[in-house]
Amino acid sequence: MAVLSILKFPDPRLHTVAKPVTQVDERIRQLAKDMGDTMYEANGVGLAATQVDQHIRMIVVDVSETRDQLQVFINPEIIGQSMEKKEWEEGCLSVPEVYDVVTRPDRVRVRAMDLDGKTFEVEADELLAVCLQHEIDHLNGKVFVQHLSNLKQNRIKTKIKKQQAVK
């Protein structure tokens, strides 16, 4: 089990746009396993490679109750989304102890590759839809707090600086 270090907001590396994975090899499979271990250890439901300072287009997700259904999405892209929107309270492993409501499309269709390099598509709603959109945002250099007002973003930055000063 390898637990990786998670970048914390407002680290500028979180705003790096990830590059596509060109070959699914053992290095990618090991990174996916390590990302899963890291996500589970941090008690999260999703993690993007960007968050562990690997700027490639890969995310891991597990929204199951049993926490044993890790899904890996390589080069994920949203290829469809509902017009209906839904509000969800989101948090982020890169923004610890901060939760706020974000409005996103209610349903999405995502195309990606699996660990064998095979393309697949998934229709998602509820928590899985939110999680996929949140993690794909990371790959595009966007942290969920950027969906919030400037006032809220500044409050979050101040709160995090205070937390870091205590440590």
Contact 76, 54 (CB under 8 A): no
Amino acid 35 reads M
- Residue 139 has which token pair? 């790959």
Per-residue pLDDT of 41-99, as tens digits, reads: 999 999 999 999 999 999 999 999 999 999 999 999 999 999 999 999 999 999 988 99
Using 50, 70 and 90 to split pLDDT, how confident is the model at 166? confident
pLDDT at 167 over 70: no
Taking the C-alpha atoms of residue 121 and residue 102, their distance in angstroms, rounded to an integer, is 25
134 known member of a binding site: yes
Q: Which active-site residues does the annotation give?
A: 135
Ramachandran angles phi, psi of 53, nearest 5° = 60, 30
Taking the C-alpha atoms of residue 92 and residue 164, their distance in angstroms, rounded to an integer, is 17
For 25, other C-beta atoms within 10 Å of its C-beta total 10
- Which secondary-structure segment (H or E) carries 59? strand 58-61
Taking the C-alpha atoms of residue 84 and residue 12, their distance in angstroms, rounded to an integer, is 32
138 known member of a binding site: yes
Using 50, 70 and 90 to split pLDDT, how confident is the model at 122? very high
